[in-house]
Amino acid sequence: MGRVYATPEQLTAWTGNPAPADAERQLSRASEDVDDALLTACYRTNEQGMPTDPAIVQALADATCAQVEYREESGDDGTGAVGRWGSVSLGPVSLGDRRDATGDPTEVDLGPRAHRALRRAGLLPGVIT
């Protein structure tokens, strides 16, 4: 399991709603999205790779909670299938109406509020603080 930047309690505070039963899984997947967006970011970390600057810690927690909120609102469970297919069934698997035939499947679908939290902290490529 990789780094997780927010807790279920922080998610509850962010959304104003009780954390879902699978909050830890959602926060883990959202943290992966945040990590993907930060591939070229530079900031101090501890031995576990976690940020040490309190402002960066808060920005990553905010971005992670915003990403969970974005995924919930878009109906994406973290697989990315919602953004790529018009319809999806899981038993016995049916995909249809491909939406991103020319898109880059390696790009992270980062929610706008998550993007803004990272940009404000100077963590996105091309942003200098």
pLDDT tens sequence across 5-30: 999 999 999 999 999 999 999 999 99
Number of domains within the chain: 1
Q: How far is CA 70 from the centre of its chain?
A: 8
Position 3 in a domain: no
Task: Give yes or no for a contact between 83 and 109, defined as CB atoms under 8 angstroms apart.
Answer: yes
Position 33 in a domain: yes
The pLDDT of residue 80 is: 52
pLDDT at position 101 over 50:
no
Domain of 15, in residue numbers: 8-120
The pLDDT of residue 32 is: 94
Q: How far is CA 65 from the centre of its chain?
A: 8
At 95, the pLDDT band (50, 70, 90 cuts) reads low
Position 76 in a domain: yes
Helix (H) / strand (E) containing 85: strand 85-89
Of 86, 107, 82, which is closest to residue 97 (Cα–Cα)?
86
Pure H helices in 38-110: 54-74, 81-84
Label residue 17 exposed, middle or buried (CB < 10 Å: 0-12, 13-18, 19+). Answer: exposed
The pLDDT of residue 106 is: 56
Of 32, 109, 33, which is closest to residue 74 (Cα–Cα)?
109
Task: Give yes or no for a contact between 118 and 34, defined as CB atoms under 8 angstroms apart.
Answer: yes
The pLDDT of residue 112 is: 93
